Chains A and B, each alone.
Chain A
Amino acid sequence: MEFSSKLIETAVTEISKLPGIGKKTALRLALHLLKSEQFQTEQLANALVKLRNEIVYCEKCFNISDDNICGICSSIKRDKNILCIVEDIRDILAIENTGQYTGLYHVLGGVISPIEGVGPEQLNISALVQRVQTEPVKEIIFALSPTMEGDTTTYYISKKIKALDIKTSSIARGIPIGGDLEYTDEITLGRSILTRTNYTTE
């Protein structure tokens, strides 16, 4: 694409770096912003900059938060004995939507995959091991994707905490193949949390 303006070109290049957005869509969005009132673009830009500068990850569970400790971790209604391990924040949203889970979460930030250079150090795993030693966790539920990498990660963490007296389970595989937790319908997911099965490394 050839542009008559360097400014448009830069904006299109930046917007098209977002997932799922090609050059054509990026151009459409840029032109849309130019056509609408100036304050709207400023509001958008401010919101994005503020998001980036002020967002905090919960110190305990690594959920996105406004404070050092997120709303879930600080709620007195949540069951502090159960911890659900998820890959990212979208999984928390999906599970919260089911209304079936009242425990706490721990966000790993991905799954172990040496091919992609992702090892335990790149994930919030040592923080998890520390957390279960200092908090009154009695049960851990693994809700990682049903892939070989998800399984490997579940297995690795289970081994790391084996010595501690903690019950581990993984949510039932009612989840469609290739489907993220995000896309699983709420009833299936809610049911699979209730019917989770014991997990063992034997």
Chain B
Amino acid sequence: MYLRKLILHNFKNYEEQHLDFIPGINCLVGENGAGKTNLLDAIHVLSLTKSAFNPVDSQNIRKGLGYYAVNGQFETGGTTEEVICGFQIGKSKSVKLNKVEYDKLSLHIGKFPLVLIAPNDSDLIREGNEVRRKFLDGIIAQHDAAYLNDLIRYNHFLKQRNALLKNFNETRVRDLDLLFPYDKNLKELAAAIYSKRVSFFNQFIPFFNQHYAHVSGNKEEVNIQYKSQVEDEDFPSLFHSFLEKDIYQQRTNAGIHKDEIVFEIEDMPLKKFGSQGQQKSFAISLKLAQYDCLHAIMGKKPLLLLDDVFDKLDDLRIKHLLGLMAENHFGQIFLTDARPERTASLLESVETEKKIFNVINGVVKVNEP
């Protein structure tokens, strides 16, 4: 699977842009602020129906205009598939596959898997559990539509239950029969989501360990721990034991929305005790494991987007990445770099076909060979 054609209309700083990509390595070079990352983001929109950087779609429209459209043609095993993602102010976003519009955007997730490695990956380590759960959910949802559906339902029931708790708190009237359907659904969905998260980690962690050992030169021991209240054999009782606290705080205290994903180095929390280099190794290993996991489960290589990695990573990690490129570990790659000469010299050892795109202030020019 690869993206052959990309057409942008009024997306971020692009007015109208047509691009033809190759199945190998597509290098987007140009000064900072020219719009290299915006091209990666357009590809992200095609694959996952939303921007990787800004969830507010109206802000992804070129200044002063009323809509954007991103159009892509994917080649998958001999057939061409067309995806059009459009957003107009005041209307809801529409995504079409081969001219047929989806009823729900979530149905598109996973059709064209993608992994993005970007400078803000360090958020996975620095930020709270919510960011890590989102990362985890993003991977599972790309290959398991039922999981995504369960998750959407869970979050919806959770919102309804919290609104009800607020109502109980404010009116001092408690109709526990009313709580019952939410509790029942939340407990059932939590169990389903938990078991999928567990089996996901069983697959994910070996991939992660492999990559970490490579980038760190086997120096230290690292660990990913998944902790959930649901692992308690008597989770239903635990859930109900919080009732008074739930009503008092107007929110639900037990469930998979409280799951923790803990990163450790030599049995200590990575966030506190890992060096900056170790944290970077950890972050990129997480992303490469995401790639391997999606590849193994879906049987096709995801698109790989590398945003500014040559600038942000150091030699050992770049070497590992280039090594993987050289042995054809990946499929189609899109990378950005502000320094074309650095990209050229680093990629010298990689034999895969390359194409250079010069991005200058929202306009892309292709180097004639």
Contact = CB atoms under 8 A, between A and B. Distances in A.
Nearest to A159: B177
Contacts, number: 41
Contact of B178 (A117, A119, A177): A119
Contacts of A149: 160
Given A148-B153, A152-B182, A114 B167 contact: yes
Interface string B108-122: 000000000000000
Interface string B147-168: 0000001001101110110110
Among A151, A156, A177, max chain B CB count under 10 A is at A156
Given A114-B164, A119-B167, A178-B103, A148 B156 contact: yes
B180 A114 contact: no
Contacts of A148: 153, 156-157, 160, 185
Contacts of B153: 148
A32 to B, nearest CB: 26
Contacts of A114: 160-161, 163-164, 166-167
B155 to A, nearest CB: 11
Contact of B181 (A117, A152, A178): A152
Interface string B55-81: 000000000000000000000000000
Contacts of B220: none
Contacts of B181: 151-152, 155-156
B175 interface: yes
Contacts of B180: 155-156, 159
Contacts of A112: 178
Q: What is the interface of chain B mostly: helix, strand, loop, or mixed?
A: helix
Contacts of B182: 152
Nearest to A113: B160
A152 B175 contact: no
Contact of B177 (A113, A117, A156): A156
A156 B178 contact: yes
Contacts of A178: 103
A117 B156 CA distance: 15
Contacts of A160: 177
Contacts of A113: 160
Contacts of A146: none
A159 B175 CA distance: 12
Nearest to B182: A152
A168 to B, nearest CB: 14
Nearest to A149: B160
Interface in B74-114: 103
A124 B161 CA distance: 21
A120 B157 contact: no
A115 interface: yes
A160 B175 CA distance: 11
Contact of B175 (A115, A120, A155, A177): A120
Interface in B180-222: 180-182, 184-185
B131 to A, nearest CB: 25
Given A114-B164, A114-B167, A178-B103, A120 B159 contact: no
The 10 closest A-B pairs by CB, nearest first: A114-B163, A155-B181, A114-B164, A152-B181, A115-B163, A159-B177, A114-B160, A148-B156, A114-B167, A115-B160
12 contacts: A113-B160, A114-B160, A117-B167, A119-B175, A120-B175, A148-B153, A148-B157, A151-B181, A152-B160, A152-B181, A152-B182, A156-B181
